[in-house]
Amino acid sequence: MTVVNPDPHSQGYVFVPANRILSLFPAAPEVRTVLRELHELGFDAADIEVFSGEPGAKMLDLSGEEHGAMPRLIRNLEALLVPEDGDTFRRADVAMRGGAFTVAVRMDGRETPKPQVGEILRSHGGTLIRYWKHWVVESLD
């Protein structure tokens, strides 16, 4: 069973969701279908995180607000230096606070299923689909 709203910061604030493909979804039925298809593709529950609505947005803390001055400062600096990343985080935060869902698929270096994961997310209405590597963010929209 995939965990909803897990704490991604249990080992300290995570600035980049490295080695993950993330996407936004407007409603739960699409998310359930996506989870089923990702499981069929070979991803298990430990590979997938779902963040839901306001509680999920607070848990992800994309602005760094919930984790103190240093994460907030770094997020603001990041938004200035890499505007696309800052815009992606801002748009995701606003959407989630409005009730949207974020699905995060851990790739852990598995490049082969990347096109299939992107297609599954797109075909069920996923938006802001991004593959976050260590130093590169790839748009899969």
- Per DSSP, the chain holds a count of helices (H) and strands (E) of 5, 5
Residues 113-138: tens digit of each pLDDT:
999 999 999 999 999 999 988 777 78
pTM of the model: 0.84
Lowest mean pLDDT among 40-49, 87-96, 120-129: 87-96
Task: Share the mean pLDDT of the chain.
Answer: 84
Domain boundaries, the chain: 20-139
Write b or e for each residue in 3-37: b if 16 or more Cβ atoms lie within 10 A of its Cβ, otherwise e: ebbeebeeeebeeebeebbbbbbeeeebbeebbeb
